[in-house]
């Protein structure tokens, strides 16, 4: 069994978990809080972790479940239809095109249904579809179909965004 060191895990996974949480809430501070919650649980449970699943699967399960349980803590955010426009403000206008696109991507993802947000975030973190299936608890075939649909949706949004 591999010896696991919390500090190594923290530095290896923090940015990935942050992006996942950002995709879920699209709010920098809220994402940081969710990230902190995740690593607190990782820290507490690491000694008990028996490595039946890979470390990655284990951490992503914790992070995604912590995102999901937000429903219990605060009011569910009203899910608005995907808007084609990113909120305009002068600060954002000065950003590089790449950064604007990144903001737009995170905004689009955070407006998807909860599980779709999780699935596409894990896919973008280059997780294998079989592992995504393990995290979410659906079949790999189902994961493939969902990823395809979500990417189609996102591509459409980006096309509209470009043609504005």
Tokens of 149: 């649909």
According to CB under 8 A, which one of 4, 27, 32, 84 is a site residue for another protein?
Answer: 32
Q: Which class for 23: exposed (0-12), middle (13-18), buried (19 or more C-beta within 10 A)?
A: buried
According to CB under 8 A, which one of 19, 128, 144, 153 is a site residue for another protein?
Answer: 19
Tokens of 160: 């509209």
Position 14 contacts another protein (CB under 8 A): yes
Cα separation, 101 vs 160, in Å, equals: 12
Q: Do residues 132 and 119 make contact, with C-beta atoms less than 8 angstroms apart?
A: yes
Query: Site map for another protein, 118-147, x if CB under 8 A?
Result: x-----xxx-------xxxxx---------
Phi-psi region of 130 (alpha: psi -120 to 50; beta: other; left: phi over 0): alpha
Element (H, E) at 142: helix 140-162
Query: Site map for another protein, 77-96, x if CB under 8 A?
Result: --------------------
Binding site for another protein (CB under 8 A): 6-7, 10-11, 14-15, 18-19, 22-23, 28, 32, 36, 39-41, 43-45, 49, 58, 61-62, 64-66, 68-69, 71-73, 76, 97-99, 101-102, 105-106, 113-116, 118, 124-126, 134-138, 151, 154-155, 158-159, 161-162
């Amino acid at each position: 069994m591999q010896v696991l060191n919390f500090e190594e895990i923290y530095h290896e996974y923090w940015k990935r978990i942050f992006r996942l949480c950002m995709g879920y809430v699209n709010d920098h501070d809220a994402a940081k809080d969710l990230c902190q919650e995740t690593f607190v649980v990782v820290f507490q449970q690491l000694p008990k972790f028996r490595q039946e699943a890979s470390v990655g699967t284990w951490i992503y399960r914790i992070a995604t479940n912590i995102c999901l349980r937000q429903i219990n803590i605060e009011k569910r955010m009203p899910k608005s239809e995907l808007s084609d426009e990113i909120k305009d403000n002068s600060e954002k206008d000065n950003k590089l095109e790449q950064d604007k696109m990144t903001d737009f991507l995170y905004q689009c993802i955070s407006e998807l249904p909860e599980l779709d947000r999780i699935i596409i975030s894990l896919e973008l973190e280059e997780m294998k579809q079989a592992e995504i299936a393990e995290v979410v608890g659906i079949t790999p075939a189902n994961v493939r179909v969902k990823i395809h649909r979500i990417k189609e949706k996102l591509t459409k949004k980006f096309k509209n965004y470009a043609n504005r």
